[in-house]
Amino acid sequence: MIEIKDLYKKFGKNEVLSGLNLEIGEGGIFAVLGPNGSGKTTLIKSILGMVIPNKGTITVLGENIKSGSDYRHKIDYLPQIANFPNNLKVKELITMIKDLRGNVDLDEELITLFKLEPFLDKKLGNLSGGTKQKVNLVLTFMFDSPLVILDEPTSGLDPISLLRLKKLIQAEKAKGKTILITSHIMSFVEEISDEIVFLLEGKIYFKGTITELKDKTNQPDFEHAIASILTDNHA
Amino acid sequence: MLKILKYSFYDLMRSRWSYVYFAFYLLLGVVLLFLNNDLSKAVITLMNVIIVLVPLIGTIFGVMYYYNSKEFTELLLAQPLKRSSIFLGQYLGVAISLSMSLILGLGIPFVFYGLFMSNAIWDFSLLLITGTFLTFIFTALAFNIALSNENRIKGFGYAILLWLFLAIIYDGVFLMSLIIFSDYPLDKLSLVGTMLNPIDLSRTLILLKLDISALLGYTGAVFKQFFGTNLGLIVSFVALTLWVVLPVLRITSKAKKKDF
């Protein structure tokens, strides 16, 4: 699905990714974890072509991402901070993104799922953070692409919406999609992900299942396993 | 690109500032006509306002729009769209909506005053054409500045400085150099100097069209000889077009390399 070879990225003097290699197979939920500033968002943005790497190649579904922007038709991306043009209505934003990317009819279903109907005629500037995040989720999932990338999908969501989101992610996985998630909420990651990818200092420190991680670190639970990686590496 | 252009344009058309800008020109046109009672004189006064104001508004609006729509740009970048079409679409959206405000705001009062029956129509058209050129030039320059500066305050600062330089300081330096080197033949130099600054070039074009070049003395005669001919006019418009094309090319190349 995704193949990353020898990826380097520097922002000024700050080297964020230093020779990262990663291969993500088809189907399943992959959690990208790591301390703050470990390069999670940079990695995701590189896959999306928003950050231009200094060195290295990225292939998505067999297509080198440098060769054009069409590969993004196969990616649904949920950005970390949901900021939309404030004077646009929710309905208008959805129509507009559909117009830009191609028509779909999944949006109605998702709007009902997240109970967004009362907000359709409201301006995005007047919505609360959680509601914006729901709009963000609708925009992400309505295209039904084989690769879904979620950057902090849980931020601002209330418990019921969180539950719905988890169900939605599982349903997407059942369709055979590949889902890439970053999150700082360990219980969410533990519950939902099949495999984790742990980033440390711009490299992949660990890739495998949660059980493997527990064995490797000799810790009884997931949260302590992550903590032990961080304390052992003084990060 | 056309879709992005459409949305940027609608977005701006709905914002309050486009109306304020439009209303300002409408008011300016009406007041000038009312006070002058003469189309040609109104055109001259308008020129003095437009030559300074259009670049200022173009720069400020361009920088402001870029920074304000940053989050939205990021949303677009994750979609299957070419980077160049995103930024060119936004640029054209801003430039076209500003030009519309200018053309309609000034055009409506002049048309009602009887522009089509007067012989000032060519002068007035030239005024609007150069005004549109200046809008496109300065919006493109503003986008360049905003793309190169992450920091908004810095971006605004540079944009204002650029406007100040081209609208005021350049003339001062130019004049000083003419005085210092007054022992040498300067007609070529002053021609080139005028060509290099879009504001000066627009001003000269309009002044000469208005047939008040006699006021400019000997230099005026040299200028008239050059700009008055078809060749001069063509060269001037080529220079203005270059002032649009070069910054726009830099927008696309800069946008391709930028991280978001």
| pLDDT of the residue at B132 | 95
| Tens-place pLDDT, residues A131-146 | 988 898 898 888 888 9
Chain A residues whose CB is inside 8 A of the B14 CB are: 87
Q: Of A52, A54, A95, A127, which to mutate for an interface test with B (greatest number of B Cβ within 10 Å)?
A: A52
User: Among partner residues B3, B77, B258, which is closest to A99 by beta-carbon distance?
Assistant: B3
Stated as kind and residue range, the H or E segment containing B11 is helix B2-13
The mean pLDDT of chain B is 86
User: Among partner residues B72, B77, B80, which is closest to A85 by beta-carbon distance?
Assistant: B72
Cβ <8 Å between A83 and B7: no
**Region A91-109: what's the mean pLDDT?**
85
Task: Count chain A–chain B contacts defined by CB atoms under 8 A.
Answer: 59
| pLDDT of the residue at A102 | 80
Report the DSSP beta bridge partners of residue A14. Answer: A11
Cβ <8 Å between B77 and A71: no
**Region A3-24: what's the mean pLDDT?**
88
The two tokens of residue B40 are 């040609």
- B241, B247, B250, B255 alpha-carbon torsion, rounded to 10°: -120
* Phi, psi (degrees; rounded to nearest 5) at A56: 105, 165
Cβ <8 Å between B14 and A87: yes
ipTM: 0.82
| pLDDT of the residue at B38 | 77
Integer Cα distance of B4 and B1 in angstroms:
5
Cβ <8 Å between A79 and B75: yes
Integer Cα distance of B174 and B60 in angstroms:
25
Integer Cα distance of B192 and A25 in angstroms:
62
| pLDDT of the residue at B215 | 61
Cβ <8 Å between B72 and A99: no
Cβ <8 Å between A79 and B74: yes
Cβ <8 Å between A83 and B260: no
**Is it the case that residue B216 has pLDDT exceeding 80?**
no
**Is it the case that residue B212 has pLDDT exceeding 70?**
no
**Is it the case that residue B213 has pLDDT exceeding 60?**
no
Integer Cα distance of B106 and B85 in angstroms:
31
> Within an 8 Å CB–CB cutoff, is residue B183 touching chain A?
no
User: Binning pLDDT at 50, 70 and 90, where does residue B88 land?
Assistant: very high
| Tens-place pLDDT, residues B130-181 | 999 999 999 999 999 999 998 999 999 999 999 999 998 998 898 888 888 8
